[in-house]
Amino acid sequence: MLRSPIVLVGGTALAGWRIRSHSRDVDIYIPEISADAVEIVEQEFRTRYGASFRLDVTTGENVWGSILVRDIASSPALGTIADLELRALRIEDLFLLKLASGRTRDLDDLDLLAPRTTADALVDRWNQLVKWHGDRHAILGFADALVVQLQRLFGRDPIATIARLEITAGQRALLLDSYRGKGSG
């Protein structure tokens, strides 16, 4: 038995937000589902859509990588399907999770996501998600990647962005030294 909500993640969320026309597989979060049920549905859909069809279901709040999205169930609603609530990850969540992945195919999606959000919304959401990051040693790199992308996509001053990030004093000093050394600020 499926329970609401079903939350679209990854490329499926991009398709749900009409940022992309389709996804190569179906990526979803469901709070509870048996592995047997996923396998049955995947096999049924393979007969309809071909052998390459893949159903990627997670029941955990870490949809990929080491960042939990603890409020995933409250992602924006898109509608219903078979009387079940259908939601999709926030644009900001997609942007930040793809940024954190560091994979080329995910980083390429940042250009598609940026026009749907703002630099301020991304910083605000980053400040929330970083509290749920499972790898404290990766936060400095995650912060630096955000600063780089906000400068590239929104023209944001790195020093001003760093000032808004909820990071430790030591992390802030390292980032500021790095950017001041590049001629910023």
pLDDT tens track for 36-57: 988 998 998 899 888 988 899 9
| Residue 161 in tokens | 């962005």
Measure Cα distances from 66 to 60, 98, 178, 182 in Å.
11, 12, 25, 30
Rg of the chain (C-alpha set)? 18
Specify whether 86 is located in the same domain as 128.
no
Specify whether 124 is located in the same domain as 86.
no
Number of domains in the chain: 2
What number of other Cβ atoms are within 10 A of residue 61's Cβ? Answer: 15
Specify whether 68 is located in the same domain as 136.
no
Specify whether 127 is located in the same domain as 169.
yes
pLDDT for 9-31, tens place per residue?
999 999 999 999 888 789 999 98
More confident residue, 153 or 22: 153
Specify whether 66 is located in the same domain as 138.
no
pLDDT for 170-181, tens place per residue?
999 999 999 987
Residue 111 maps to a domain: no
Residue 63 maps to a domain: yes
CA 97, 92, 121, 116 torsion: positive or negative? positive
pLDDT reading at 131 higher than 90 = yes
pLDDT of 3 reads 73
Specify whether 76 is located in the same domain as 122.
no
d(CA 104, CA 160): 27
Specify whether 133 is located in the same domain as 85.
no
pLDDT of 141 reads 96
Domain boundary among 70, 90, 110: 90
pLDDT for 64-114, tens place per residue?
788 999 999 999 999 998 888 999 999 999 999 999 999 999 999 999 999
Task: Read off the pLDDT band of 148 (50, 70, 90).
Answer: very high
Specify whether 84 is located in the same domain as 134.
no
Residue 110 maps to a domain: no
Specify whether 79 is located in the same domain as 37.
yes
pLDDT of 25 reads 84
State the residue range of the domain holding 28. Answer: 6-90
pLDDT reading at 164 higher than 70 = yes
Measure Cα distances from 48 to 3, 43, 126, 133, 155 in Å.
24, 9, 39, 38, 46
pLDDT reading at 126 higher than 90 = yes
Mean pLDDT of 127-131: 96
List, in order, residues 6 or more apart from 5 with CB less than 8 Å away: 31, 73, 75, 77, 84, 85, 86, 87
pLDDT reading at 184 higher than 50 = no
Residues 56 and 42 sit within 8 Å (Cβ to Cβ): no
